[in-house]
């Protein structure tokens, strides 16, 4: 049990597999006496599921660590900027019902000071300049800024298939990853219960010291071989289907700065703007809506936002899913990453970030030899069970305060469907605003600021002032500076379309190495 960990075998491609291959290979010490090797086995018959994805700002650091230039990424992945999400119709469904969850944190004031002078209007616009930038479809950065730097915090919208291709090319041509297009036909177990090797149809036996299961919902290793079960979360998150469609756009049309999530009677619709198209999908719960009703809902949305498009000419693709995650993510020498680890409805773009966080945790605590692996696995499993629970709680928060009146939304407000931890926090937040003290880990998936944006966007009234005096006497001045910054950035930043069109026309002028 003291064997050095040197051979990494990744089973499955897609975003999860190729991100894993790139991150591990880029972090490996090429000058080591016995360097790491990374082999990725990808079935030639399994397409990438991605329908157009949103990422968190963490992706900037991920791409930089891999060594991919930002301008190259934007062009290759048909990508644009994402500065947060906008939620339309989630509170009441009436005209004007809309709020922002921006990526930039509120002004540097205490939670109580942020609320002291706010009673109406947009909470996000009260404490952050970013909603004003998003409303004008502006980019978060100037082309002359260094790669991955911005005037505001940002992630990306991207084409998942094109992104996986960029990662594959980077892994194989620059980072030395061995790529096998082959079918896994069997799994060979070692005496200690580890996976010793996988058998493939044409490449034979592929041995390894650590195996990453990136086989998606099939979960060939963690589920098929080890039989690790899943924890069903559909008693909390009801959605289990989506109809996705790609809508072409004109080359001069505005590109949204945020994901737009529009509520409907039995779910919600995502709208993601890319330079060449919009990725749109109707998420719904089959227990509250028929497939035909969901198609009618999506068609009505398309007719409203793109009247020039004939929905009958578009192809709707149905996706079926279940909100669930593994009981354990790391078993013996097998770690599940991506859809093999779990999936929750894509309301806050948590799919790709869980891949990034999993890889961060693996590389931060990489087992030097087999004797340490079980300890690393226990720590990883405890951390990610906590993180999945917190993601479930945060997604449920979007529903729990809604005033919409349909069976679906009433069921979401049923106290029996609200996790106990969230139930207690909601009771606490009626008396005081969310603060860092409410979250136990130093690196929370969703910090207190994210909860503030959703709570007050959904109409929870600010709590009455407490008996303690304000922490700062310059609160009004700080919040006025937020408004001044919004005006200055609105006047100086290019639109997303201007930025991305210039990138396409003259890449040499704006690309930075």
Task: State phi, psi for 336 to the nearest 5 degrees.
Answer: -90, 130
Tell me 221's DSSP state: I
Rounded CA-CA distance 376/54 in Å is 30
Please check if 228 is assigned to a binding site.
no
Distance of CA 212 to the CA centre of its chain: 20
Core vs surface per residue 295-322: b (16+ CB within 10 A) or e:
bebbbebbeeebeebebeebebeeeebb
- Rounded to whole angstroms, how far apart are CA atoms 461 and 474? 23
Annotated ligand binding at 348? The verdict is yes
* Structure token pair of residue 80: 């644009």
13 assigned binding-site residue = yes
Which of 82, 162, 396, 476 is catalytic? The answer is: 82
Q: Is 339 annotated as a binding residue?
A: yes
Cα distance between residue 478 and residue 111, in whole Å: 13
- The CA distance from 162 to 48, in Å, is 10
Contacts of 193 (CB under 8 A, 6+ apart): 332
15 is annotated as contributing to ligand binding: yes
Query: Whose CA is closest to 273, among 452, 104, 138, 370?
Result: 138
Q: Which two tokens stand for residue 86?
A: 């906008």
Q: Any binding-site annotation on 227?
A: no
- 82 labelled ligand-binding: yes
Our answer to whether residue 476 is catalytic in this structure is no
> Is residue 486 annotated as involved in ligand binding?
no
Joined together, the tokens standing for residue 89 give 């119709």
Beta bridge partners of 277: 248
User: How many CB atoms neighbour CB 38 within 10 A?
Assistant: 24
Write out the binding residues for L-tryptophan. Answer: 348
Write out the binding residues. Answer: 13-16, 82, 184, 339, 348, 352
Write out the binding residues for 7-chloro-L-tryptophan. Answer: 82
Write out the binding residues for FAD. Answer: 13-16, 184, 339, 352
- Residues annotated as catalytic (active site), given as ranges: 82
């Amino acid at each position: 049990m003291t064997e050095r960990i040197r051979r990494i075998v990744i089973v499955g491609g897609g975003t999860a597999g190729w991100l894993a291959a790139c991150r591990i290979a880029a972090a490996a010490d090429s000058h080591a006496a016995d360097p790491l090797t990374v082999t990725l086995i990808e079935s030639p018959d399994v397409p990438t599921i991605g329908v157009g994805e949103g990422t968190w700002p963490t992706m900037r650091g991920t791409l930089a660590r891999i060594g991919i230039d930002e301008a190259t990424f934007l062009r290759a992945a048909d990508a644009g900027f994402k500065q947060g999400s906008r939620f339309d119709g989630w509170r009441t469904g009436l005209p004007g019902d809309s709020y922002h969850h921006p990526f930039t944190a509120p002004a540097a004031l205490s939670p109580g000071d942020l609320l002291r002078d706010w009673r109406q209007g947009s909470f996000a616009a009260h404490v952050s300049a970013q909603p004003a930038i998003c409303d004008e479809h502006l980019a978060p950065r100037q082309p002359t800024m260094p790669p991955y730097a911005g005037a505001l915090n940002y992630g990306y919208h991207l084409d998942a298939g094109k992104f996986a291709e960029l990662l594959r090319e980077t892994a194989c041509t620059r980072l030395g990853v061995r790529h096998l297009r082959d079918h896994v036909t069997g799994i060979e177990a070692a005496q200690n219960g580890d996976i010793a090797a996988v058998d493939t149809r044409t490449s034979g036996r592929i041995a390894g010291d650590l195996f990453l299961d990136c086989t998606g919902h099939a979960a060939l290793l963690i589920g098929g071989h080890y039989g690790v079960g899943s924890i069903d979360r559909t008693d909390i998150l009801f959605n289990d289907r989506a109809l996705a469609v790609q809508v072409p756009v004109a080359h001069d049309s505005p590109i949204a700065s945020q994901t737009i999530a529009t509520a409907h009677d039995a779910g919600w619709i995502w709208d993601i703007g890319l330079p060449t198209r919009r990725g749109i999908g109707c998420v719904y719960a089959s227990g509250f809506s028929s497939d035909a009703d969901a198609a009618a809902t999506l068609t009505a949305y398309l007719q409203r936002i793109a009247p020039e498009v004939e929905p009958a000419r578009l192809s709707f693709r149905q996706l079926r899913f279940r909100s669930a995650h593994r009981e354990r993510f790391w078993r013996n020498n097998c770690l599940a990453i991506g859809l093999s680890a779990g999936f929750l409805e894509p309301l806050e773009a948590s799919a790709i970030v869980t891949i990034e966080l999993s890889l961060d945790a693996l590389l931060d605590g990489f087992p030097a030899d087999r004797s340490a692996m079980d300890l690393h696995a226990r720590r990883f499993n405890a951390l990610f069970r906590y993180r999945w629970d917190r993601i479930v709680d945060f997604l449920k928060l979007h529903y729990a305060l809604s005033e919409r009146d349909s069976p679906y939304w009433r069921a979401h407000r049923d106290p029996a469907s609200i996790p106990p931890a969230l139930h207690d926090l909601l009771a606490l937040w009626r008396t005081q605003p969310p603060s860092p003290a409410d979250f136990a880990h130093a690196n929370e998936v969703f910090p207190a600021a994210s909860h503030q944006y959703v709570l007050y966007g959904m109409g929870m009234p600010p709590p009455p002032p407490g008996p303690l005096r304000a922490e700062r006497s310059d609160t009004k001045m700080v919040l006025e500076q937020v408004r001044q910054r919004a005006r200055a950035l609105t006047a100086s930043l290019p639109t997303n379309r201007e930025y991305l069109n210039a990138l396409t026309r003259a890449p040499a002028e704006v690309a930075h190495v």
